[in-house]
């Protein structure tokens, strides 16, 4: 479960980076 949460957090960070130019 903890891994899934960390994975989601990493995914969110990646999405934020993708939004940045």
pLDDT single digits (tens) 1-21: 678 899 899 999 988 888 767
Q: What pLDDT score was predicted for residue 10?
A: 92
Q: What is the pTM of this model?
A: 0.39
Burial 1-14 (b: 16+ CB within 10 A, else e): eeeeeeeeeeeeee
Q: What pLDDT score was predicted for residue 1?
A: 65
Token pair listed for 6:
């960390």
- C-alpha separations of 6 from 14, 16, 17, 18 in Å: 12, 15, 17, 18
Q: What pLDDT score was predicted for residue 9?
A: 92
């Amino acid at each position: 479960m903890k891994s899934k949460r960390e994975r989601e957090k990493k995914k969110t960070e990646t999405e934020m980076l993708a939004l940045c130019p």
